[in-house]
Amino acid sequence: MKYMLLIYGNEAAMQAARQAAQVEKNQMIGAYSAYTEALQKAGILLGGDALESSETATTVRLANGKSQVLNGPYADTKEQLAGYYLIDVPDLDTALSWAARCPGASHGVLEVRPLRMLQT
């Protein structure tokens, strides 16, 4: 079953971490690299990427038959979507186990969601 691991974090804190000491920055990069490699070695990684900051987002909504385009994210929240992993594992328990190992879980929140297969 396919699951999306959505990584949420505080952008201000993430930006501060990017500008922090090189040692801390390298540790975070190393942690994500090791996690990604573990997913690959397990044969369950289908995809994943980090996202640019929410200020680069564009939100599109259809209202009264007209498209409305807004700069910025849909909602103003304390935590923003920072990236994702798409994995294929047997069940939710396995997905949760992998989510708990993600470095993002130690400094933010991981949302684990099954993908709904579209009917054609």
- Establish if 48 belongs to a structural domain: yes
- Establish if 91 belongs to a structural domain: yes
Mean pLDDT of 95-120: 92
Q: Which domain holds residue 78?
A: 2-114
Please state the pTM of the whole predicted model: 0.83
- Establish if 120 belongs to a structural domain: no
What pLDDT does residue 18 have? 64
Q: Residue 77: is its pLDDT beyond 70?
A: no
* Domain CATH number, residue 32: 3.30.70.1060
Q: Residue 76: is its pLDDT beyond 80?
A: no
Q: What are phi and psi of 23, to 5 degrees?
A: -60, -45
Number of domains in the chain: 1
Dihedral of alpha carbons 7, 8, 11, 12, sign: negative
**Is pLDDT larger for residue 101 or for residue 20?**
101
- Establish if 72 belongs to a structural domain: yes
- Establish if 119 belongs to a structural domain: no
